[in-house]
């Protein structure tokens, strides 16, 4: 009998061999937070394929609480960009002079260049899943949305796209600007497009903000 541990194949499941695992490692390593985009449009079928894979992500109680909103109207994009500008200036002011200067040199969003903006919400009033698994940890709904964001990120990279997660925003301002149901909570605002540059290392490492930390290992208890 073939050993699944050496073949990468589970009994009755698909086969994922050594070559696939190496390519998957490349995909994970090249999943970068992109802030510098080309303005070329993203084909609709590619975006739909990425979203379809994102919707296969795990979710607590199979609740599937993710809600994707494509932000296309200029006035709504402008409202998001204005929120970013206010929050970004406030964030810079929280650092001392030297670190604030370094902060201001960073490019922290591609809101003006990215052809696609996606706001990703968690529907905290969803009846799907019947509450399973979240009575003691209601935050699991939002964690489920994060898994969808990460799957989307990897799917986009597999098509040569880049994704930038913009967190320097006021969630309430974005929610108001996009006129979504009151039970939806913003989890991620994503810029999507083809990268203007390709780098294997994170931008914040490359520009001296924060180095990669050494692997802390696995704790045993």
Mean pLDDT of the chain: 94
Q: Residue 70's beta-bridge partner residues?
A: 118
Burial code (b: 16+ CB inside 10 Å, e: under 16) for 128-140 equals ebeeebbeeeeeb
Instruction: Tell me: pLDDT of 58 over 60.
Output: yes
CA dihedral 169, 116, 111, 186 (to 10 degrees): 0
Task: Find the range with the poorest average confidence among 34-43, 58-67, 149-158, 211-220.
Answer: 211-220
* Higher-pLDDT residue of 218, 19: 19
CA distance 118 to 120: 6
What's the mean pLDDT in 133-159? 97
What's the confidence (pLDDT) of residue 204?
Answer: 92
Look at the domain 32-206 and name its fold: NADH Oxidase (3.40.109)
What's the confidence (pLDDT) of residue 197?
Answer: 93
What's the confidence (pLDDT) of residue 3?
Answer: 57
Q: What are the residues whose beta carbons fall under 8 Å from the beta carbon of 22, sequence distance 6 or more?
A: none
In tens, the pLDDT along 82-140 reads 999 999 999 999 999 999 999 999 999 999 999 999 999 999 999 999 999 999 999 99
User: At 18, phi and psi to the nearest 5?
Assistant: -60, -40
Domain boundaries, the chain: 32-206
pTM: 0.92
Q: Residue 195's beta-bridge partner residues?
A: 37
Instruction: Tell me: pLDDT of 50 over 70.
Output: yes
Q: What are the residues whose beta carbons fall under 8 Å from the beta carbon of 193, sequence distance 6 or more?
A: 34, 37, 38, 39, 40, 42, 110, 113, 114, 115, 116, 161, 162
In tens, the pLDDT along 187-214 reads 999 999 999 999 889 999 999 999 988 8
Token pair for 139: 């935050």
What's the confidence (pLDDT) of residue 11?
Answer: 76
């Amino acid at each position: 009998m073939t050993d699944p541990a050496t073949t990468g194949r589970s009994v009755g499941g698909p086969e994922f061999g050594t070559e696939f695992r190496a390519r998957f490692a490349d995909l994970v390593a090249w999943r970068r937070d992109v802030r510098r985009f080309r303005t070329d449009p993203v084909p609709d079928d590619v975006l739909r394929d990425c979203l379809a894979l994102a919707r296969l992500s795990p979710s607590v109680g199979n609740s599937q609480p993710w809600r994707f909103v494509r932000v296309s109207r200029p006035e709504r994009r402008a409202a998001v960009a204005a929120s970013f500008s206010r929050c970004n200036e406030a964030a810079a002011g929280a650092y001392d002079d030297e670190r604030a200067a370094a902060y201001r040199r960073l490019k922290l969003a591609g809101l003006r260049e990215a052809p696609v903006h996606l706001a990703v919400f968690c529907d905290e009033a969803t009846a799907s899943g019947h509450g399973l698994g979240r009575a003691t940890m209601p935050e699991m709904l939002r964690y489920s949305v994060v898994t969808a964001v990460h799957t989307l990120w990897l799917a986009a990279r597999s098509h040569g796209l880049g994704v930038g997660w913009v967190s320097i925003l006021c969630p309430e301002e974005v929610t108001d600007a996009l006129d979504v149901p009151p039970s939806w909570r913003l989890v991620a605002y994503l810029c999507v497009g083809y990268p203007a540059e390709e780098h294997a290392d994170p931008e914040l490492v490359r520009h001296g903000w924060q180095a990669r930390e050494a692997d802390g290992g696995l704790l045993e208890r």
